[in-house]
Amino acid sequence: MSILVINAGSSSIKYTLYHSKTLERIDHNLIEEIRDHHEGFEVMRTQLLIHGIDITQINAIGHRVVHGGERFHEPTLIDDEFLAEITALIPLAPLHNPANIEGIIAARAIAPNVPNFAIFDTAFHQSMPPQAFRYPLPHDLYHTNHIRRYGFHGTSHYYVATQAAQILQKPLEELNLITFHIGNGVSACAIEKGKSIDTSMGMTPLEGLMMGTRCGSIDPSIIGYLMREKGMNIDEIESMLNKKSGLFAIAGTNDLRSVIDAKDSGDENAALAIDMFAYRLKKQLGEYMAILRGVNAIVFTGGIGEHSPLIHEMVCKGLEHLGIGLDEVKNRSNDIQIQSSTSAVAVLVIPTDEERQIALYVQKFLYS
């Protein structure tokens, strides 16, 4: 009676096991430095046996899959046809989808009778209208090459939105929200009546806000300039934009706690990094305030969003004219609702739980 949730990375497998009815968490582990996913699943099989769980006897497996393209807008039962279709999407997400697919293949090999489901980071954002998801580029780049905004962290944005609805005691379909997932990866989502209408990440998770090691949005001409003037090739540039930029580039570390410590000891680059990081979040908030007709709540989640009162304060400060005010004491004492008594907009700090959301999707498949 259990549901296994798998997040397969290139050299690791994170798994969480839930009771399939109560969703009580039975086991959670990260298996690292695996040679391949079959080896990883063998390790997991042994670890699950310690809990008396035979992987071949569980109810279902839910896999996190980063990119579902336009084809997949909801959790999907995996069959051979699915695997062919998802493999065709690899060019859109070359850094993530191959490992997700290997995880699925390994799961099907080790437990052939257990149904597998794919849950996509992109799915929640498939409700975006064309004006939000199209780039101002020639039509055929969209129609032939599938270049458009897809958005990511969808499982997290949706999960915290459902939690916000519970906290505010209103149906999600009646709520307008701005959700900020701020971890190593950072993205924001404008949610209108429970549906994503825009998000900051784009065709890949590189676009949008400043992140731990990713630059977020920059002038695209910088890439050509680097090729011509510095003789960098496209792999070097992409690697720099993904792995050597963001907080890491400006402050020397991608860990916000260390950046804050450095700032407190007078490091000017650390102070600049935090100012840039918060400034971009605040600009994003303004954009989404403008496109949503009235906002019920702003939601912070992710490692930074859940734990950094400084970032909440820097993002929300001076926005009383937009109906947003923070209660400093509540913010500093890690309350869930941190808006001031006069704030028209609620400001919520909600821990995300993407694994649990995946389990909830799978559970819905199994029992409805």
User: Would you name the residues annotated as active-site residues?
Assistant: 121
Site string for ligand ADP, 296-325 (x = CB under 6 A): ------xxx--xx-----------------
Q: Which is nearer to ligand ADP, 62 or 183 (CB)?
A: 183
- Nearer to ligand ADP among residue 69 and residue 302 (C-beta): 302
Nearer to ligand ADP, 133 or 277 (CB): 277
Would you count residue 255 as binding ligand ADP (CB under 6 A)? yes
162-201 footprint of ligand ADP as x/- string (CB under 6 A) = ---------------------xxx----------------
Q: 103 vs 133, which CB is nearer to ligand ADP?
A: 103
Name the segment binding ligand ADP (CB under 6 A); options: 46-54, 92-100, 254-262, 314-322: 254-262
Spatial neighbors of 332 by CB under 8 A, at least 6 apart, are 309
Question: Cβ(130)–Cβ(328) under 8 Å?
Answer: no
Q: How far is the CB of 137 from ligand ADP (least distance, A)?
A: 29
β-sheet with 25-32: strand ranges across = 25-32, 12-19, 2-8, 60-65, 116-120, 76-77
Q: Is position 9 an interface residue for ligand ADP (rule: CB under 6 A)?
A: no
Strand, coil or helix: 2 = strand
- Return d(Cα 117, Cα 189) in angstroms, integer: 25
Q: Does 278 bind ligand ADP (CB under 6 A)?
A: no
Give the residue with the Cβ less far from ligand ADP, 68 or 303. 303
Beta carbons within 10 angstroms of residue 169's beta carbon:
6
Q: How far is the CB of 228 from ligand ADP (least distance, A)?
A: 34
What residues have CB less than 8 Å from 181, skipping those under 6 apart? 153, 156, 157, 160, 187, 188, 189, 301, 302, 305, 352
Residues 6+ away with beta carbon under 8 Å from 204: 92, 93
Alpha helices in 123-197 (DSSP H): 130-133, 139-143, 154-168
Residue whose CB is nearest to ligand ADP in the complex, by number = 303
| Residue of 1, 117, 119 lying closest to 54 (CA atoms) | 1
CB of 1 to ligand ADP, least distance (A): 29
* Start-to-end C-alpha separation, the chain: 16
- Where do contacts with ligand ADP occur on this chain (CB under 6 A)? 183-185, 212, 255-257, 302-304, 307-308
